[in-house]
Amino acid sequence: MKITPGLIWIGWITLVTLVFYLGLAMHTAILRGRHRVMAPAAAGHPAFDLATRIHANTLEYLVPFLVALWMCAVFYEPLPAAILGIVWLFGRIIYVVGYWSAPPRRQPGFILAMIALVLLLILTAYGLFRMGLVMGV
């Protein structure tokens, strides 16, 4: 595979996304200790419960996002994938900030990230279809 500047952007977006996710994990662990929620308990203080939910929801969407991001970059084009990756990341940040302030406020960030994810999947499918036609598959 040829490494292009677009793929470098995809690498950076992947790295920032993983650091963001690890930051959520560390915040959840800190709250577990601060509020003395002893493992294996998964609930306790409301702040810990909220952090756990935010962390878990981010994990639920992390795998589909990263797979779609890289597949779109490889099978369609890196630049649109990078733009949608940045949109997804900002959507998740908006989601986290909204959820922390009041759980119903998480919706705009969730919707933004979901639109970016769906577009990544659509562009991936289009790229696979286009490549299949060119290669006769």
Q: Which domain holds residue 131?
A: 5-135
Rounded to an integer, the average pLDDT of 102-125 is: 96
Could you tell me which residue, 100 or 3, shows the higher pLDDT?
100
Name the domain count of the chain.
1
pLDDT at 9 over 70: yes
- Give me the CATH number covering residue 81: 1.20.120.550
pLDDT at 82 over 70: yes
Residue 1 is predicted with a pLDDT of 66
Helix (H) or strand (E) holding 134: helix 107-135
For residue 123, name the pLDDT band (cuts at 50, 70, 90).
Answer: very high
Predicted TM-score of the model (pTM): 0.91
